[in-house]
Structure 1
Amino acid sequence: MKILEHTSTRLTLQRHPTGMSWFLLGILWLFGGSFSGIGVLIAQAVSVRSLMCQRVEATQVNCELTEGNVFNAPVNTTAIAALQEATVATDPLGEAPAYSVILYSQTKELEFSNSNDRGSQEAIARQLNEFIQNAAETRINLQDDDRGLQLWVSAGFLLGGLGLMVWGINLQEVATYTFDKPQNSLTLNRHTLLRHQTTTWRLECFKWAFLLDETGQASTILLEVQCPESQSHHPPERVQLTNAVYTYTRASQQELVNLVNQFASSKQQ
């Protein structure tokens, strides 16, 4: 806490972030960056498969299977010449059976989609087989998109990480307290990189400054503010001046309490 100005009519105190608050910022940014990174990695791992098939002859269907990620960037593209059939395969391993649509051509077989819902996979296979058999249809486009739950998980990590980082930035607050007798005002200006807030009270509303506890350790200094007209229906407002993040010794806090109270007690002189 710095004393910027101390005269008989004006007292200005300014609180700056200290080593402890910078340490907390580093910890929050470390965890926040890690959480955000995990969120991005999960998003990149989410696969979106697209199948585009085109009839080149009455009895021949050629396809292109494209696998991309959540950002719609193609990762892998496979050409399938002369698609013959689509079937549903069952994988009994795991807690619940998984069902996959398998594409068969003359030279290869490829998995297009998979799900725990057998009905959805059978519908995809049926749609493909009907296209293969119906010479009147010339093109079909299908997509297997499993982004649902994984995207929610990714967003949770990403937003949680960003939230920790923003919280860390807000800890780096510069607060200026100005007691001004000629203006009859007590002004609190709070600055961070993300916000600026100014609160003003009449100086006559300031009651006193006090330490919150009697532990002998670094504790919180509070300013009690209550205007005369609100005494009957509003409790006093308590404004934090310092806490253990900013001031480490009880002695230094007590000196600050004495300074504020001595200045305030002479305001009518």
Structure 2
Amino acid sequence: MKEFSKFVFDVNYLIMEAPKNLNRLKAVLADASQTNKWLAEQLGKDSVTVSKWCTNTTQPDLHTLARISELLKVNLESYWLTATIGNIMTYDEYLSCAKKHLKGCKSLMDSYQSGKPTDMHVWLELYYISGYILEGLTVYSAYKLYNWPVNEDIKRRYNIPFTNATGIDFYYNRIINGNEIFPGRSVNSLSVQGHRFQDIIKSKLRSNPSFNDLPYIGNGDIDQDVEHLIDNWSPDVRYCYLGQNNPIPILNQDVIIRLIDTCNKIYVNHI
């Protein structure tokens, strides 16, 4: 279940809840043909500290994580080893992962210290992660609102009446034994696979009275710059902007705090 690695961020919380959710720094270093000693020198740390990270005895702080990500050219979601959640993917799992990830973002913001050279990298990471919080809330809300069976796998199972009524399926083009289950669907269809949660919100959630007072997902108040960030979010956002001096003019601590607060308001009031 590769999709769920994106939701693992709050180390202490996840280790407490699911001990298998640990970092894979040792493997990441091996993939990059680098050593503990090399990483320690790059970070100005001692080898014992890095060795403890590699054995999951301790975990690095937010700024160190950002620096490791830069040095090893990996995404933070690639840094974590995520246990799968059972053998099926229910829509409830999207809510659970959104909750964990929201808690993780809050913890990371609480530990943030300003004035570090990795600040922009941190804002990009948190912006990137916020999209998966919103995606989790969107998928959960859409499947629940339109009465998908709560214990039924949304990835492996398909439901023709459900998709005909909503336009939503996990895949944009579900093919079984060479046959299209839903002929005519394209990459622009309402799919979980496509990560265009904004389209699902605008097409299926925003007009529903259940969401009237919620920001973005409904018609509640939302700051224009936060709405702009959400509208323009995609899984590629970090890779497109990383390395530029001023990747997103409005991206700073203030707007990120308000973005995460918007995610929290939606979560607290979800259906």
TM above 0.5: no
Q: Which has the larger radius of gyration?
A: 1
Bigger strand fraction: 1
Bigger helix fraction: 2
Instruction: Indicate the TM-score class for this superposition, using the shorter chain for normalisation.
Output: under 0.3
Normalising by structure 1, what TM-score? Answer: 0.22
